Amino acid sequence: MTEIIAAVLHRSGDNQRPYAEHAPLSLRKLRLEPPRFGELLVRIDAAGLCHSDLSVVNGDRPRPMPMAIGHEATGIVEALGDPDDPGFAVGDRVVLAFLPACGECLRCRSSEPYMCSTGAAANGRGELLAGGCRLHDGDAPVNHHLGVSAFATHAVVDRRSAVKVDADLPPEIAALFGCAVLTGVGAVMNSAAVRPGEGVIIYGLGGVGLAALLGARASGATPILAIDPVAKKRALAEELGAIGAAPDEAEAAIARLFPRGADVVVEAAGKAAVLNAAYRSARRGGRVVTVGLPHPDEKLELPALSLVADGKTLMGSYMGSSSPARDIPRYVAMWKAGLLPVERLLGSIHRLDEINSLLDQLEDGNAVRMIMKPWG
């Protein structure tokens, strides 16, 4: 058993703001079991705060409680459940992916690891892929968040949740590849399969929306219109090669740049009303990809005839339709070549004990990706 510090959430939803004051997350000393066969003990050295963490806190995505949350992270392998593991060794840097792919279910065998049914079921139960929890608070089990539980000094993960990357990758950048980059770049390159010269609109410039922008640039998309209410995020989008517009300027900007609608529209705001606007701003035959997570009660209303008469495609993109083992090394190589400036997504770096106030900043919508370093 390893004694670790982890941020534990005791209640999903019904958490009062400001979080800094009511502290829905508490840093707890937990006991972490050693890794079983096929599992890894990882010393977490950077973890990003993502909107899907907030969704567990505010109840938009209810999960079994208590739970050690956090799912976008990187770290160093400290121990192996299988000393002869064919893919990992002590000292390897790994990026953790938030859906382990079992490799055996029909979806995995159909080259859709992002739809792995075994992995999704384990995540839904708050367990690792092989079943059960490795985390304990006294005698009580603590659930894992998406097989990762990253806001912690250490994690035990299934080896299929980990992707080995170059050891010299800075941790605060490496972490971003696990969720924001995988989801945002994947939405553009895998789900929408943007082609050079296509025009793209991105709604919502959180970590995933900005990563989608990087993916659109790297794919040769032009023009790229980036819509967000926060001026400093629009300014960043413009530095990254997009044209920024506030929501009240969007209609005029779309009419000017895309008089017939855009080839591809990415919705990364997580609101049904925004998805509706995204659908309307696609051209006939255009593709609309949504990566946002709206509140489960939100309903989408669309002119039903338009899907056929306008030949539009509306698709949800989970984890950027990615194969983490294929795509993370590919995106890291693009970053190294200067084609995917992921470091621009990095906002600020914090201690683990700042987590509740970081949740406030995230919900207020002002922050770019915030990273926590459990070891300072």
> Under the rule (CB under 5 A), what is the footprint of Zn ion?
50, 52, 102, 105, 108, 116, 118, 179
Taking the complex as a whole, the smallest distance from the CB of residue 79 to Zn ion amounts, in Å, to 25
The smaller minimum CB distance to Zn ion, of residues 121 and 302, is found at: 121
Please return the burial class of 64, using the count of CB atoms within 10 Å of its CB with bins 0-12, 13-18 and 19+. middle
DSSP 118-133: HHHHHHHHT--TTSS-
Alpha helices by DSSP H, the chain: 19-22, 51-57, 106-109, 117-125, 171-174, 180-186, 207-218, 231-239, 250-257, 272-280, 304-309, 324-336, 355-364
Q: On the CB side of 301, how many CA atoms lie within 13 Å of its CA?
A: 2
Taking the complex as a whole, the smallest distance from the CB of residue 256 to Zn ion amounts, in Å, to 33
Taking the complex as a whole, the smallest distance from the CB of residue 112 to Zn ion amounts, in Å, to 9
The smaller minimum CB distance to Zn ion, of residues 118 and 348, is found at: 118
Taking the complex as a whole, the smallest distance from the CB of residue 202 to Zn ion amounts, in Å, to 17
Contact between residue 148 and residue 94 where contact means Cβ atoms under 8 Å apart: no
> What does the longest C-alpha to C-alpha distance in the chain come to?
62
Taking the complex as a whole, the smallest distance from the CB of residue 80 to Zn ion amounts, in Å, to 22
The smaller minimum CB distance to Zn ion, of residues 35 and 119, is found at: 119
Of 179, 157, 190, 160, nearest in space to 41 by CA: 157
The smaller minimum CB distance to Zn ion, of residues 70 and 261, is found at: 70
The smaller minimum CB distance to Zn ion, of residues 120 and 288, is found at: 120
Taking the complex as a whole, the smallest distance from the CB of residue 87 to Zn ion amounts, in Å, to 17
- Please give the Cα distance from 292 to 209 (Å, whole number): 9
The smaller minimum CB distance to Zn ion, of residues 69 and 240, is found at: 69
Q: On the CB side of 186, how many CA atoms lie within 13 Å of its CA?
A: 27
Token duo for residue 309: 């008469």
- Torsion, Cα 163 164 170 174, to 10 degrees, reads -10
